[in-house]
Amino acid sequence: MKTSRIILHIDMNCFFASCEIAENPELLKKPVVIAHDDPFQRSIVLTASYVARSYGIKTTMQVREAFQLCKDIIIIEPDMDLYVSYSEKFYQYLLTITKKVEMASIDEAYVDVSDYQGNVVALADKIQNDLLKEYRLPCSIGIAPNKFLAKMASDMKKPLGITILRKRELNQYLWPLSLEEMHGVGKKTAPKLQSLGLKTIGDLANPKNLALMKQKLGNIYATSLHQRANGIDDSEVDYSGKVEVGSISNSHTFDRNIYEERILKDTLKILVNTVANRLQKKNLKAYTIGLQLKYANFRQINRSQSLETPTNDESDIYKITEAILDENFEEGLYDINNRRDSNCIRLIGVFANRIVESKEQPHQQITIFDNLTELEKKEELKKIIDGVKTKFGETTINQGYYEYQNSDQKTE
């Protein structure tokens, strides 16, 4: 009986542009750019076709810069209804292969084919060819024993690539890559790691660097990055299509498009406090912490991080979700005229999955990497809070995450 997992990560190539080309095949060999049609050319490139990319045009580049690189680019106003309809076709097709499909965003999915009895590479080739033939949608596919490695593999050959990434091949294909190329290392985390002299994913995988990483990023986040760099990821493909029963979450929908990082992070702290407090009140901990974002153009993503040791600590949850936010949001990238750019946020949510009763878990093991003073302070604070609750009632006081301190940021 097959026991090892086989996960596919299917990533649609230049999805928005590909949808437009599928509707109008005459655009196939032309430099297509999806962006708001601003007469002053101040809007941002949402997606560029591979022909446009051959001129050096990139996502988030201003349209005026794109015109400087290629005067013949074709600007197409984004049509989210069209993209959502193609995303649904993509999803429904995958369901004909297996019901174990997790849509990670509008243009990417994880598929668990561990139970497939045939040749998995041939299956990936069929999926790729079917999507191209039936819907004119090109994609790249990563094949690996877990979600993280499958995601990394799908990025290695674009467009129309199929890549297998095995754990025994990490030193050959994964570790030489720069740490910025690692899924989960955002634009704000990368400089912190680089300040430690770390340059490659192999450096993150090296046990000798773990202590430094923990000092800079905290125990939970650093350990997670270290494990993923070593090809370890136990997160499941969530094919439920809804919030799991064993899940605690909280979200907030803004009454306007939000493009200010400060507002997002202030809201994130409130959501984190709520989720952590619910876990603590029920004496629960979670092995998976995640962030949900809905953008102004209705694009939605769910990103999560699996942990070796479950947590219900608000500071751990905040550090993980903040890192995900940093990777998926950049302040200032919005349409100056109407602020409908894909980087504006309408909803932010925090969730905790794979929940267990904390009493079933062993006490935290203090290692040589932990800051004993901080651990003692945290434990003493919890004792004080528990004492106040015992004397005056459970709802009197709750510990919350009200500041995020590190060497690069002032205390708020």
84 is written with which tokens? 């959502």
Dihedral angle at the C-alpha atoms of 237, 239, 243, 247, nearest 10 degrees?
-40
HSE value, Cβ hemisphere, 13 Å, CA-based, for 345: 28
232 is written with which tokens? 């370890």
184 is written with which tokens? 């989960």
Collect all residues with Cβ–Cβ distance below 8 Å to 300 and sequence separation of at least 6.
105, 106, 292, 293, 294
Instruction: Write down the catalytic residue from 108, 236, 314, 322.
Output: 108
Cβ atoms 7, 101 nearer than 8 A: no
Beta bridge partners of 345: 258, 295
Helix-strand-coil split of the chain, %, nearest 5: 40, 20, 40
- Measured at the CA of 368, the angle between CA 367 and CA 374, to 5 degrees, comes to 80
Among 244, 5, 242, 246, smallest CA distance to 147 is for 5
Q: Which residue has the tokens 């990821």?
A: 233
181 is catalytic: no
Report, as residue numbers or ranges, the catalytic residues: 108
